[in-house]
Amino acid sequence: MGKRIVIALGGNALGSTLPEQMAAVKKTARAIVDLIEDGNDVVIAHGNGPQVGMIQKAMAELTRAEPDKYIPCPLSVCVAMSQGYIGYDLQNALREELLDRGIHKGVSTVLTQVEVDPEDPAFSNPTKPIGAFMTKAEADQLVAERGYDVVEDAGRGYRRVVASPQPKAIVEIESIRDMVEAGLVVVACGGGGIPVFRTEGHHLKGAAAVIDKDFASCVLAQSLDADALIILTAVEKVAIRYGKPDQQWLDELTPDEAEQYAAAGEFAPGSMLPKVQAAVRFARSGPGRTALITLLEKARDGIAGRTGTRIHA
């Protein structure tokens, strides 16, 4: 019996540069089409760290070169551009891999907005570094002129930091659901989604933030009533005492066990912690819901129960 699966792709599925992404999506498409070939419906979400950094830097250079002509590009617009660019490469790679295997299915990318709360405490504590490194003078100027938050990043220079608020709801969820039910392969919530606030009337206003793709994928999986959330990353399993001589890989966890390990500091913030938290949230959100964290190349083995770390009630 086919399942409805939301797949969250990490940085290793896309690479960091244009040529890397072009090559990486071919391998990524093979892993995804394996699941489609097995009869599953898949919806694909992905991160955008290097891509949104690249776009933001290019747009900032444009403003610097011609300040009278080009105003700074809002971060929400940079996220939208990254969804378009990544969706373009993924869509093409998936289309080609499907056709090569004789599977006739449409593939579409949905530019996805994700609602965030203006009162989210993340807005008063921006933590996510984006864009290029700057000198202190450049940083001071941006703070004065644009009210940016800037931090000194590990001795490498100054960087803008932005808020990473929690996703509340997916604005285009009905379109995404209709497309999945029509049998299309959908790419959605790229880069965690374009963060927006609800304002007066029906207006949505872009927020200067980047949503974590693991949390956004969890909301997507819950909203679509998916059977499984698969977070594909650069490790085959989650470990405790990660990187230490007595490291232990984990096969199966209840949400409570995973939470206890998280509270004990077993998972690095900003990398494995959000994945485990997203997996716990999804596993708790309804009966029969399973979250799996594994290596991109192991997606098919993982869903068959042969590898990866599985979190379910």
DSSP bridge pairs for 130: 160
Active site residue 125: no
Q: How far is the CB of 180 from ligand ADP (least distance, A)?
A: 23
Footprint on residues 228-247 left by ligand ADP (CB under 6 A): 233-235, 238-239, 242
The answer to whether 11 contacts ligand ADP (rule: CB under 6 A) is: yes
Catalytic residue chosen out of the listed positions 131, 275, 298, 302:
275
- Length of the chain measured in residues: 313
Active site residue 40: no
301 sits in which H/E element: helix 299-303
Assess contact for 48 and 85: CB atoms under 8 A: no
Catalytic residue chosen out of the listed positions 11, 190, 191, 308:
11
Residue 249, helix vs strand vs coil:
strand
For the chain, the 3-state helix, strand and coil shares in percent, each to the nearest 5, are 45, 25, 35
Assess contact for 131 and 160: CB atoms under 8 A: yes
Residue 144 or 154 having the CB closest to ligand ADP = 154
Footprint on residues 259-298 left by ligand ADP (CB under 6 A): 266-268, 271-272
Catalytic residue chosen out of the listed positions 10, 12, 15, 302:
12
Residue 46 or 139 having the CB closest to ligand ADP = 46
Residue 164, helix vs strand vs coil:
coil
By rule CB under 6 A, what count of residues binds ligand ADP?
A: 14
Dist CA 36 CA 43 (whole Å): 10
Burial class for 111, CB neighbours closer than 10 Å (0-12, 13-18, 19+): middle
Active site residue 92: no
Catalytic residue chosen out of the listed positions 48, 213, 298, 308:
213
Footprint on residues 204-233 left by ligand ADP (CB under 6 A): 233
Residues lying near ligand ADP in the complex (CB under 6 A) are found at 10-11, 47, 233-235, 238-239, 242, 266-268, 271-272
Catalytic residues: 11-12, 128, 213, 275
